[in-house]
Amino acid sequence: MAQSRTILLVSLAIVALQFALVSKASAQAELALSQGTSSILVTDNGPGDTNLTLGAITFNGSVGSFTGTFSSGTTKPLNGSAIQPQLSLVSTDLTTSQGGLLTILFGDTDFGPVPNGAVSAHIGGTSGGQVSYLTFLDASNASLALTTSLTHQDGLGGATFDSNFNGNTAFGLGTSLTQKITVTQEAGSVTGLNSTLRITNALVTPDSGSAIALLAGALCALEGIRRRFHTIS
């Protein structure tokens, strides 16, 4: 009887790990662009994404009165991992025929756990207007959610600008991260920028990040199953 239960628990652990792998594979980064009443949402490898690489989104086109290569965003598995997060965004030749405010959101889900993270947020570029750069996390894992502020850099612009922020954070398994960039510029001006949010988890090595996160999820599921069997018996 004990041997049969052990075999069953091991089998269930394998299923739990496979489920965790499938869940991670199905997570998709998203890019949202808005200006006035116009808005666009692009999902990784979805309509509008011209980059077929998993973990990268590139959109070329227009939203409202703005045109340009709005964003080449990268995240896991291309850059970083679940517990060594990295979101990077590049936007070039942003122009507007009428002037106005452009909002760019780029984010991904299923990060963590990060019990002891060092935060590094950088943005640089050139702009005929003003640029602000904010980053957020959401503990409920909602995509592009602006729930808890991580970093805040604003009042940027000019022929060249470069801004860095360093801090600390901690969050659990199943957390989303989002970059929010706003560009305010006059008609005929041009903006180009690159930004990176990097969170280094001091308690693990980069190579072990994704595997540990997946294993942690599988072990949590296994523990729940074990307790249920113990209660039944």
* pTM of the model as a whole: 0.77
**pLDDT at residue 92 greater than cutoff 50:** yes
Domain count, the chain: 1
10 within a domain of the structure (yes/no): no
Q: How many CB atoms lie within 10 A of CB 224?
A: 11
- What tens digit of pLDDT does each residue of 117-140 get? 999 999 999 999 999 999 999 999
Q: Tokens standing for 228?
A: 């249920």
Instruction: Look up tokens 């006059």; give the residue.
Output: 186
96 within a domain of the structure (yes/no): yes
131 within a domain of the structure (yes/no): yes
**The domain that contains 43 carries what CATH number?**
2.60.120
3 within a domain of the structure (yes/no): no
Question: How many CA atoms does the CB half-sphere of 29 hold within 13 Å?
Answer: 34
65 within a domain of the structure (yes/no): yes
Average pLDDT over residues 88-97: 93
118 within a domain of the structure (yes/no): yes
Please list, in sequence order, all residues whose beta carbon lies within 8 angstroms of the beta carbon of residue 147, skipping any fewer than 6 positions away. Answer: 136, 137, 138, 139, 140
104 within a domain of the structure (yes/no): yes
Cα 184 to Cα 127: distance, rounded to the nearest angstrom: 9
User: In DSSP terms, which residues pair with 63 in a beta bridge?
Assistant: 66
The reported pLDDT for the residue numbered 109 is 98
Structural domain including 201 reads 28-205
88 within a domain of the structure (yes/no): yes
Q: What is the mean pLDDT of the chain?
A: 83
The full 3-state SS of 16-69, as one line of letters, equals HHHHHHHHHHHCCCEEEEEECCEEEEEECCCCCCCCCCCCEEEEEEEECCEEEE
Question: What is the separation of C-alpha 155 from the centre of its chain, rounded to a whole number of angstroms?
Answer: 24
In this structure, the chain runs to a length of 233
